[in-house]
Amino acid sequence: MAERKPVLITPEQLAQQRHFAALVSVMENRPRSYHVVTYGCQMNAHDSEKLSGMLADMGMDEAPTREDADFVIFNTCCVRDNAERRALGNVTWLKEVRKKNPNLIIAVCGCMIQQPGMAERILKQYKFIDLAFGTSNLWKLPELLHRTLNSDRAVVVVEDEDTIAEDLPLRRLRTDAAYITIMYGCDNFCSYCIVPYVRGRERSRDPEAILAEARALYESGVKEIMLLGQNVNSYGKGLENGMNFPELLRQLDAIGIPRIRFMTSHPKDLSDELIAVLGEAKHILPQFHLPVQHGNDEVLRRMNRRYTREQYLDKVRKLRAAVPGIGLTTDIIVGFPGETEEQFEETLSIVEEVGYDSAFTFIYSPRTGTVAAGMEDQIPEDVATDRIKRLIAVQEAGQRKAMARFLGTEEEVLVEGLSRRSDKAVSGHGRHGVSITFPGTEADIGQIVRVRVTEMKNNTLMAERI
């Protein structure tokens, strides 16, 4: 693999963007309101917070719905085929909205645009789109919007660079919990995954910038931070100061933010040092998302995951020894090309053996440009559908067993909102990552509340206040 150096966006470049933002904010034909539609993972949700921050800086107000906005931006995901189709369907639907609001500006950004050939397709097939840009150009939004407002042709910009931009304006979704991106991109090239092609090579943020962001959040009263990266366990690769993920966690733990989480981890990069830090830390929550993807060694090899079933199970054992009761969650793919019934049954058995608190289960969907998309023996849809149903049944039975360990125990819940079923109850996540509902009011939102778990209902634990 050719080495690619990250491109650090300089303070001068950011100052230039602030200049464009000021220009846009006084243009006669500028949009007065915006709405960001987000697809995909937490990385995208955090990117949308940056888009919102830049748009607010240009003097726009957030509109409650896309129909009310003058500027609608779709922050897309292409990791799964259905997310891509949904995004394009919604963009097309907005064409109708423009009939009522001729000044509506439609923009599309994110992973989908970064795919080879997508920019040309946008130009040809989706002529009503005014602006399209890739993940590496996000920091340039003020300049791109300025160009769009001065042009009667679509502006499409996709650069193949691995950028890191610090100090972008941010409009965070929550005041009690915050995302911090610690690294971008991925070097793993799992054979089914498009991420390395659309998010670029792995690059880590400067630890001092991360620590400064965390300290500022602590001082503002934030109770939980979620560290983000496609593969946080390999944080630090390429940094000259020798910082790695366990050491970064140690230093973040010392700041005092009550709850620290992170996502996503690759099992092959989960080191003994990291497990030891989890065992010692005060504020890192006892939960771990460890995507297994499959239970059979041959399929794991063809997925290019670079661990075996036994190595994965060994890491699970070590995690449980270091952090008793740790909440384990995972991602699983069924119907990978060539998957036999026997191989699939090994996925069922690893799910039974581990006993996950929850699992994201997916039917394999080929992504153009990946190695697996060209593999023979793609699995027929009816076979894959049958397998995922059986997997979900096994996972749900395991989940019920795993969750029973919480009955009668005490938990601390960061309250996220009123319960969907009752306005006399609130819900949030406990320290182990499980959703918990208990009696409460709006005043509890954003607070950490101690509860005792009394009952288990589907995927939720019911509790009483202590």
Contacts of 35 (CB under 8 A, 6+ apart): 62, 63, 64, 65, 66, 68, 69, 71, 72, 73
Q: Structure tokens of 177?
A: 């919990």
Tell me how far, at minimum, the Cβ of 218 lies from ligand SF4, in Å: 29
Identity of the residue, 163 or 231, whose beta carbon is nearer to ligand SF4 in the bound complex: 231
Identity of the residue, 156 or 195, whose beta carbon is nearer to ligand SF4 in the bound complex: 195
The Cα 408–Cα 357 span in angstroms is 17
Asked whether the beta carbons of 348 and 391 are under 8 A apart, the reply is yes
Residue type, 280: E
Tell me how far, at minimum, the Cβ of 122 lies from ligand SF4, in Å: 24
Residues in the chain: 466
Q: Phi/psi at 320 (nearest 5 deg)?
A: -70, -30
Tell me how far, at minimum, the Cβ of 359 lies from ligand SF4, in Å: 15
Contacts of 93 (CB under 8 A, 6+ apart): none
CA atoms within 13 A on the CB side of 403: 24
Cis upstream peptide for 308 (omega within 30°): no
Identity of the residue, 199 or 429, whose beta carbon is nearer to ligand SF4 in the bound complex: 199
Identity of the residue, 301 or 405, whose beta carbon is nearer to ligand SF4 in the bound complex: 301
Tell me how far, at minimum, the Cβ of 270 lies from ligand SF4, in Å: 12
Residue of 300, 303, 294 lying closest to 362 (CA atoms): 294
The Cα 141–Cα 259 span in angstroms is 32
Identity of the residue, 17 or 230, whose beta carbon is nearer to ligand SF4 in the bound complex: 230
Tell me how far, at minimum, the Cβ of 322 lies from ligand SF4, in Å: 23
Around Cβ 335, how many Cβ atoms within 10 Å? 21
Instruction: Reduce the secondary structure of 261-280 to three states and give it as a string.
Output: EEECCCHHHCCHHHHHHHHH
Identity of the residue, 104 or 332, whose beta carbon is nearer to ligand SF4 in the bound complex: 332
Tell me how far, at minimum, the Cβ of 187 lies from ligand SF4, in Å: 8
The three-state secondary structure class of 74 is: strand
Tell me how far, at minimum, the Cβ of 106 lies from ligand SF4, in Å: 28
Residues that bind ligand SF4 (CB under 6 A): 186, 188-190, 193, 195-196, 230-231, 266
Tell me how far, at minimum, the Cβ of 266 lies from ligand SF4, in Å: 5
Tell me how far, at minimum, the Cβ of 190 lies from ligand SF4, in Å: 3
Identity of the residue, 17 or 76, whose beta carbon is nearer to ligand SF4 in the bound complex: 76
Cis upstream peptide for 340 (omega within 30°): no
Asked whether the beta carbons of 413 and 436 are under 8 A apart, the reply is yes
The Cα 416–Cα 22 span in angstroms is 35
Around Cβ 250, how many Cβ atoms within 10 Å? 14
Identity of the residue, 331 or 386, whose beta carbon is nearer to ligand SF4 in the bound complex: 331
Q: Phi/psi at 358 (nearest 5 deg)?
A: -165, 160
Identity of the residue, 42 or 251, whose beta carbon is nearer to ligand SF4 in the bound complex: 42
